[in-house]
Amino acid sequence: MTTQGPAATEAPAITWHHRHLIDVDVLTWPEFELIMRTTEEMKHVLARPIRKVPALNGRRVTTLFYEASTRTRVSFETAARNLSADVVSISPATSSVTKGESLVDTVRTLEALGAEILVMRHAVSGAPYLAAEMFSGHVLNGGDGWHAHPTQALLDLYTMREHFPAGDLRGRKVVIVGDILHSRVARSNIWSLTAAGADLWLCGPATLLREWIAGQRPGPAARSPGTASST
């Protein structure tokens, strides 16, 4: 991943060219900044009496969560409605998945029924990549296995920036504590926080950091994190 550190001056206008959002490892720093600026604009929209903009008016957004979720699923659905999209929520437990329908067949069926944006969560790492290959629209990853949770990482980055002058995280020491090995949120945060220039440290029991300590670094790392300590 090639990124540019946060610039001291205002970044030039850029165009978003990504079709999907499966992880933040594909984002450059200017693209992170674009997301942060757009988020700030939406924050002002949500403070209005009418909390809607027509950005996705007429678009069909389908949420497909193979894992139980309250906050993430409802957050996506609420956001889509705030953008004026038509939202359909699919629960695999009450769909043909219970009769053996594959992920590929489910995605193809949803597309045939008009889905244009697919928000999915799956217990298997890499499942959104397979969906993206089969789906002609746009796939947003709401968390897959131990791999990634890009929107949570973007929310974490935005929240941290709000608490520092000018939203600058360069040189700020950030420690992620716990089960790093199995955490999709930690893996995505490693990308976003290192791209932001934070001094990132990983801390947890050696058994839950063993591959990081061994230097294998499972999953993405925008640059070498700080030394992981064990307890």
DSSP letter assigned to residue 21? B
**Distance (Å, whole) CA 56 – CA 52:** 10
Residue 137 near residue 114 (C-beta atoms within 8 A) = no
Name the residue type at position 93.
A
Identify which of 125, 231, 124, 123 has the alpha carbon closest to the alpha carbon of residue 178.
231
Identify which of 17, 218, 193 has the alpha carbon closest to the alpha carbon of residue 126.
218
Looking up tokens 């984002």, which residue turns up? 27
Length of the chain equals 231
Phi-psi label, residue 171: left if phi above 0, alpha if psi -120 to 50, beta otherwise:
left
Residue 36's H or E segment, with its range, is: helix 29-46
Catalytic residues: 71-72, 99, 121, 149
**Distance (Å, whole) CA 185 – CA 31:** 19
Phi-psi label, residue 5: left if phi above 0, alpha if psi -120 to 50, beta otherwise:
beta
Residue 64 near residue 113 (C-beta atoms within 8 A) = no
Instruction: State whether residue 121 is helix, strand or coil.
Output: strand
